[in-house]
A = this chain, B = another copy of it.
Amino acid sequence: MAISLAYLGPIGTNSETAALAYARFLADTMNEEIILHPYPSIAQTIQAAATKEANLAIAPVENSTEGSVTITLDTLWQLEQLNIQQELVLPISHVFLSRGTSLQGLKTVYSHPQALAQCQRWLTHFLPKVKLIPTNSTTEALSEINQDPTSGAIASPRAAKLYDLPVLATNINDYPDNCTRFWVVGLTPSTVGNKISLGFSVPANVPGALVKPLQVFASKEINLSRIESRPTRRSLGEYLFFIDLEIQYDHTLTQEALSELATHTEIIKIFGQYCVTPISPSILSEL
């Protein structure tokens, strides 16, 4: 039976590209068929997997230029029962699209706030006076520019092809190594892979409250590849911490570290142990 996969739609978003790459990966490695289901927001995408509306959901978690996609962390913390099955790293390249014939005369640029932020320097240099208008997805920006030649949009090269829109500039992202991590989440427990992600809260805002949890890993030479704080939302100055661990060899050591961590934290939630798969440019060019 085909596996259903929820993603932030519509067709042409970077989430759809990641979903297609994951579908290809599952078809190649496990001969599994995947059916993609678009959702209007990241929160709804992840909730679809929690409520079994879809078997799996794919969601962006971090971009190399703009940092955390906080709604993904917050939603995973709230839903509790979801596990990370797989991480995909997608290279992100932005193009500039417009029905106008040149950059001169443009008045407005539409795109998702993450895309606008990732092309900030290019926009300041080439279009210093345009009005920047945020949209819910990079694809949504495209519908805005169809009628009006004084407007432009930032989207993926794939979206330009799909919606048949003229490309005025390519690779406009400020950092050439721009990429986004996506997590595939589902209800199945995940215990295989070299990476573990977890979230925890600490008992109180006292000197060194965060040092003890971090020392647990440092003393065992376990690398933290990422640490992120998020507000508990109860009051200003109270935080949750999200951590990614790299497991090098000794899994027993990791289990010991996680047990020890529990003695220094208030609430702890393990989001899963999983593998990281970079998406190759050759797969991308075929999508």
| Alpha-carbon distance between A41 and B214 when the two chains are bound, in angstroms | 37
Do B231 and A207 touch (CB < 8 A)? no
Note all chain B residues with C-beta closer than 8 A to A168: none
| Alpha-carbon distance between A57 and B27 when the two chains are bound, in angstroms | 54
Note all chain B residues with C-beta closer than 8 A to A236: 62, 64, 89, 177, 179, 181
A134 within 8 Å of B (CB atoms): yes
Q: Please give the distance in Å from A113's CB to the nearest CB on chain B.
A: 6
Q: Please give the distance in Å from A141's CB to the nearest CB on chain B.
A: 11
Q: Please give the distance in Å from A13's CB to the nearest CB on chain B.
A: 15
A-B contact pairs, 27 of them (CB 8 A): A41-B132, A62-B236, A64-B231, A64-B233, A64-B235, A64-B236, A65-B233, A66-B231, A67-B230, A89-B236, A113-B113, A133-B136, A174-B233, A175-B234, A177-B235, A177-B236, A181-B236, A207-B217, A207-B221, A207-B223, A208-B217, A208-B219, A210-B224, A226-B229, A227-B229, A227-B239, A229-B229
Do A223 and B205 touch (CB < 8 A)? yes
| Alpha-carbon distance between A136 and B224 when the two chains are bound, in angstroms | 35
| Alpha-carbon distance between A133 and B135 when the two chains are bound, in angstroms | 7
**A231's closest neighbor in chain B, by CB?**
B67
Mostly, the A contact residues are mixed
Bitwise interface map of A from 53 to 70 toward B, beta carbon under 8 Å scored 1, else 0: 000000000111111001
Note all chain B residues with C-beta closer than 8 A to A235: 64, 177
A26 within 8 Å of B (CB atoms): no
A270 within 8 Å of B (CB atoms): no
Given contacts A67-B70, A210-B224, 12 further A-B contacts (CB under 8 A): A41-B132, A67-B229, A133-B136, A174-B233, A177-B235, A179-B236, A205-B225, A206-B223, A210-B214, A214-B214, A227-B229, A227-B239
Partner of A135, one of B62, B70, B134, B215: B134
